[in-house]
Structure 1
Amino acid sequence: MSCSFRGVLNSPADRVHLQYECLNECFAVLTLGSIEGIEFPGALAKKPFGNVWDAWKTPSIFIRNNVDLANKMKMLRECRFTLDVDALARVLKAAYSSCTDWTDFICSTEFITRHAAVDSFAVQGPYERALKKAKEENTELSRKNRPTKSDPVGFAAPDCARMLQQDGEKIGIVARVTVTFRQLSELVVEWKSFGTWIIVWPLDAHAEQADIETVALAICQHMQSGGKIVTALPPLSAHNRTKWVVISKLWRTLDETLLASAGVGQMAATASNKIEGNRVFLEEGTPESAGQYYHPYVGAAAAKYLYEVIRRRAPRMSLPDLRRSRSLRSATSRRRGMWGGEESHSKRRRI
Structure 2
Amino acid sequence: MAQWEKRPPGHDHRVEVADDTRVTELYLKAVDQFGSDEPAVRLGGVHALDRLGREHPEHRQVIVNLWCSYLRMTNPQPTNPGPNDAPEPPRETTVSSEEQHVQTTIAELLTARLRDPRPHAERNPRITPPPVTPTFWGPLDIDLSNTRLPAVDLSDCWIATATFTNTTFTTDARFRGTVFTDDAGFGGAVFTGYAGFGGAIFTDGVWFGGAVFTGYAGFDGAVFTGGASFAEAVFIGRAGFVEAVFTGGAWFGSAVFTDDAAFGGTVVTGRTWFNAAVFTGHAWFVGATFTGRADFSGAVFTGGAGFIGAVFTGGAGFGGAMFTGRAAGFGEAIFTDDAGFDTAVFTDNASTDGLMLLWQDPETETAAAEDAVGG
Q: What interval of TM-score do these two structures reach, taking the shorter chain for normalisation?
A: under 0.3
More strand by share: 2
Q: Which structure has more RCO (C-alpha within 8 Å, separation ≥ 6)?
A: 1
TM-score by length of 2: 0.25
